[in-house]
Structure 1
Amino acid sequence: MPEQPLLEVKGLSKSFGGIRAVDDLNLSVQDGEFIGLIGPNGAGKTTVFNLLSGTIKPTAGHIAVGGERLEGQGAEEFAARGVARTFQNIRLFKHLTVFENVLAGMHGTSDRQLWRNLVQGRLFRTQEERLRERAAELLETFGLSRHADELSVHLSYGDQRRLEIVRALATFPKLLLLDEPAAGMNPAEGRQLVELLGQIKRTQKLTFVLIEHDMEVVMELCDRIRVLDYGKSLFEGTPEEVRRSPAVREAYLGGEEDEYAQLGAAYGGL
């Protein structure tokens, strides 16, 4: 019997007025997979992420995480089921320290039975110590421990990007949605990010869905890639299959030639 997908999307659609941003999307992601969503600007990628994280509600279709239907639920319900995400535009608590930003993410998923924390103070202290240790480990892994006591607003752009990923990981997610995590990074920072995400992929039982315009990042990390175009699913395959697809070539050369050239360069030329 096939294993139940961690994420299953069927007939997912979203319309804004007369514009259908996502059109009858079907997607199945197994536990531990690393899936990429690519496509030209306006393909509907971020709208898909907004639907998969409960930020917006679908016009039609359903979303199941771990077999539980969540369409129509809010972001809090998606987070409670283990879905975390980052954003194109960095959303940190700029007037909290780096360490406090990570703890803020953790407290959203820690023991929600407040009365137990109040009555059993010892339990609360033990849990708090465990969370602080986990926060310190994540900051060390992502090379941010030396900035732990700095306000996040003072970090470099690349470090802010990394901190947002750390904060998402701090929620102990099952499914992590990464929205252009390498955007604005220089090549060295991008390479470091790929190595870190690859390490997490190898060592933790975590499922990723990635939106990224840096094709080297996509090609190196993803097991499968789904190509979107004008809200529709255009093609799905391995990185090599996507690179060789005439349909993908046509979609990108319609307006994103430079990005398609990156896609080919990631595998040594078209």
Structure 2
Amino acid sequence: MNSKLEEQPIIEVQNVSKAFGGLQVINNCSIQVAKGSVTGMIGPNGAGKSTLFNIIAGTLPEDSGQVLMEGRDITHETPDQLFHQGLLRTFQIAHEFSHMTALENLMMVPPRQEGENLFSTWLKPSLVRQQEEEVRQRALEVIDFINLGHVKNELAGNLSGGQKKLLELGRTMMTDAKVVLLDEIAAGVNRTLLVDLVKNIERLNQEMGYTFLVIEHDMDMIARLCDPVIVLAQGEVMMEGSIEEVRNNPEVVEAYFGKVD
């Protein structure tokens, strides 16, 4: 992880609340994510982690409170608008284009490609070809970075669950990403590919300056990657600290496993 973190948080959640009917899922919750950090978010099932993620990512409206990115209010911006600002979210179940190759999946990501404009294909064919080749070269670099070069021409739908997660992580590299929200990226991934996932996240953080906010139930992965770790319970922040502090906190243990007599 980067040792020098900027003072202004890159993501700040201020007093956010969200209810579904009579169920209060997020209750006046405030968190900060430091620029350059890999921040973990854990908590028992039903703690509100995914709901808070959805609010930050713009896919779910809050009832009250606000979300800031680099000090600017992004509370009511759409996922598309946030994508163009460098805020991306991956999902527990990877969302690949199953009938396209792994390489083509990466090439689909960059926005505002000239080939998407009908007039450009007619009037600027050389520019379209040049840009497509640049995107292809970038995609080849990314697919090698994530160690999927051997399946670059395989249909994405045929990849294993772990390979799909790696591909989804690679798709973040085809943009000008600043913050990546990782939602249980280890789920359904075998241990060998999980090692690759962790290494790639570390490299993106250390070498390319990505900031990560990670929801994860795999405590070994959290311990390897994350500092600090935020613990949610019943829609509120229970504590924030190092993984050692979290593991040794009796309130956290009780929230996960129940009170032991």
Q: TM-score, normalised by structure 2?
A: 0.89
Instruction: Find the partner of 2:167 among 156, 160, 163.
Output: 163
1:177 paired with 2:191, answer no
Segments of structure 1 that go 5 or more residues without pairing to the other structure are 258-270
Segments of structure 2 that go 5 or more residues without pairing to the other structure are 1-5
Using the alignment, how far apart are the partners of 1:130 and 1:65 within structure 2? 30
Instruction: Find the partner of 1:253 among 245, 250, 257.
Output: 257
Instruction: Find the partner of 2:197 among 181, 193, 212.
Output: 193
Cα distance 1:195–1:57, how it changes in 2: closer, same or farther (>3 A)? same
Match of 2:82 in 1: 78
Across the aligned residues of Structure 1 and Structure 2, the Cα RMSD in angstroms comes to 2.3
1:172 deviates by 2.4
The answer on whether the counterparts of 1:65 and 1:81 sit within 8 Å (CA) in structure 2 is no
The answer on whether the counterparts of 1:25 and 1:233 sit within 8 Å (CA) in structure 2 is yes
The answer on whether the counterparts of 2:146 and 2:196 sit within 8 Å (CA) in structure 1 is no
1:9 deviates by 1.1
Match of 1:24 in 2: 28
Q: Secondary structure at the match of 1:227?
A: strand
1:175 deviates by 0.3
Using the alignment, how far apart are the partners of 1:127 and 1:207 within structure 2? 28
Q: TM-score, normalised by structure 1?
A: 0.86
Q: Secondary structure at the match of 2:9?
A: coil
Match of 1:40 in 2: 44
Q: Secondary structure at the match of 1:64?
A: strand
Match of 1:223 in 2: 227
The answer on whether the counterparts of 1:6 and 1:29 sit within 8 Å (CA) in structure 2 is yes
1:54 paired with 2:43, answer no
Q: Secondary structure at the match of 1:105?
A: coil
1:10 paired with 2:18, answer no
1:4 deviates by 2.4
The answer on whether the counterparts of 1:21 and 1:230 sit within 8 Å (CA) in structure 2 is yes
- Percent identity over the alignment? 37
The answer on whether the counterparts of 2:106 and 2:171 sit within 8 Å (CA) in structure 1 is yes
Instruction: Find the partner of 2:142 among 138, 145, 166.
Output: 138
Using the alignment, how far apart are the partners of 2:23 and 2:172 within structure 1? 31
Kindly tell me the number of residue pairs found equivalent between the two proteins.
254
